[in-house]
Amino acid sequence: MNNQVCKEETVLHTNQGRRNFLKICSVVLSSLIGIAYAVPLIRAFISPALQETVSGSTGLIEVGSVGDCVVNVPRKVKIVDTKVDAWTKFPPTEIGAVWVILGKDKKFTVFTSICPHLGCGVDWDNNSGKFICPCHDSYFDIEGRVLSGPSPRGMDTLEAEIKDGKIFVEYRKMKLGVSEKMPA
């Protein structure tokens, strides 16, 4: 009788030990699976908050060939590039425009087509030989200097390079309404 009770207790302890072991294994395995799913999800939601989520052009953008330019005749070129906004990557679209000018000294100057006053588009007037912002009547000479109007500074120049007979520009938008040129 006493021997049989001892055997039953041993079987009972063995079963409980096995059950506890299986419980611990299932908790550990479930936790690992949960972590494996949680890390990429948390990273996907937090990552854009820690980075610049809206971006425009990256690097140099081709705006034409050197042979297309005539001395002191501004040429307007559309800037087409991909745009990224958080999780959305847009197909190549027009993100702005620049004025490319070949000077008498054979150097290229590239201006943004955005007026530094309030961001209207600046156009070239062949009759007067000036850049004109039609919104608030700011006038600029061919070198981008302010001639008259409310613009706080001259037209913004952009970095340009010539490679293999083609003109490349680093397109950037600048802060509006301030007297110093600063990237937006």
What is the per-residue pLDDT across 47-95, written as a single tens digit (0 to 9) for each? 767 766 555 556 888 888 888 889 999 999 998 887 777 677 788 888 8
Among the listed residues 174, 121, 178, 129, the one whose alpha carbon sits nearest the alpha carbon of residue 150: 178
What is the per-residue pLDDT across 101-126, written as a single tens digit (0 to 9) for each? 998 888 999 999 999 999 999 999 99
Tokens (6 digits) for 39: 């890390």
Q: How many Å apart are CA 93 and CA 82, to the nearest integer?
A: 6
The label of the residue with tokens 């009788």 reads 1
Q: What is the pLDDT of residue 6?
A: 61
Nearby residues of 97 by Cβ (< 8 Å), 6 or more positions away: 76, 77, 78, 79, 112, 113, 121
CATH class of the structural domain 54-169: mainly beta
Nearby residues of 44 by Cβ (< 8 Å), 6 or more positions away: none
Task: Name the residue with higher pLDDT: 97 or 15.
Answer: 97
